[in-house]
Amino acid sequence: MIVVTGAAGFIGSCLVGKLNAENYNDLVLVDDFTRDHMRVNYESKKYTQLVDRGAFPAWLAANQQLVQFVFHLGARTDTTEFDTKIFDKLNLNYSKEIWRLCVKHSLPLVYASSAATYGLGELGYRDDHEICSALKPLNPYGDSKNNFDIWALAQREKPFFWAGLKFFNVYGPNEYHKGRMASVILHAFRQIEKTEGMKLFRSHNPDYANGEQKRDFVYVKDVSEVCFFLMHHRKDSGLYNLGTGQARTFLDLTRATFKAMGKEEKIGFVDTPEDIRDKYQYFTEADMSKLKLIGYDRPFTELEAGVNDYVSNYLMNSSIL
């Protein structure tokens, strides 16, 4: 039996789809299942049981002998939320509880960290344990993820195998519910459908031209592949970046979206909202050498190929992975 928390969400539901495709159907899906707008992400999946997020720690304590692996992907991911109590409850303390249960019952654990821990990238984007305490995230979400990473590294007792995955800019199917936090591809698709054009954030940094801001965009299918690899690898515990290792511009991404939709490019620019302007990342790029060093050798999907698959096979017909 494999547990996936955040199973109604974006990455979690895609991982469940990957596990089903590999004939892993004895799954326990954990989330807040009262949110009906997310039901589409899991209602067609194969699983053994749905467990409410709040009831999960007690469920795991009672059923640990049936569990072989825990993917803890559930989290509050809103980077514009500044109520630290929410992050302390859902991202920090809840994760600590799951960690302790995995230690107690000798269960392997993969959990979701984030590239938001790197802040403006003053120390680079290396998944080096030694720099965690010196990182300066830009918001409470990033703080909560970094604080848990620091806490996990400091624990004397750890799961026999654990990995914290620092997700970079993940995009792909099943993110329809994410609103403002959805990928630029989804926003572009909807805006192009409505207006025939797309407006990107204007650069407020003299080192970057408009639209030339760069991020490491990683396709959610690749994220699932890495999770699946780690489920079988079960050694070399630690923090791992999960990007492609290649930064691309928002113009690249938007042009790929127009092309996938068969539309003529019409790209304009608007000011970056003031509430995020001083905390805006102009460049991220994952150092992927650590994951490759432990044997992960699958190539990551090129941006244009990922966007085309996402748009053509999911967004154009509102399909779920």
CA distance 321 to 271: 34
* Residue 289, amino acid: S
Residue 104 annotated to the active site: no
Q: Report the half-sphere exposure of 139 (CA within 13 A, side-chain side).
A: 21
Q: Scan for tokens 């102009």, then name that residue.
A: 282
Active-site option among 24, 141, 176, 310 = 141
SS3 282: coil
Q: Using CB atoms within 10 Å of the CB of residue 283, give its burial: 0 to 12 exposed, 13 to 18 middle, 19+ buried.
A: middle
Residue 55 phi, psi (nearest 5):
-90, -10
Helix (H, G, I), strand (E, B) or coil at 70: strand
Q: Is 292 a catalytic residue?
A: no
| Tokens read off for 171 | 């995009």
Q: E-strand spans in the chain?
A: 2-5, 27-31, 49-52, 69-72, 109-114, 162-167, 169-171, 198-201, 214-215, 217-219, 238-242, 248-249, 267-270
Structure tokens at 252: 């690249």
Contact yes or no for 135/121 (Cβ under 8 A): no
What's the CA angle centered on 109, arms 121 and 176, to 5 degrees? 65
Catalytic positions are 141, 178
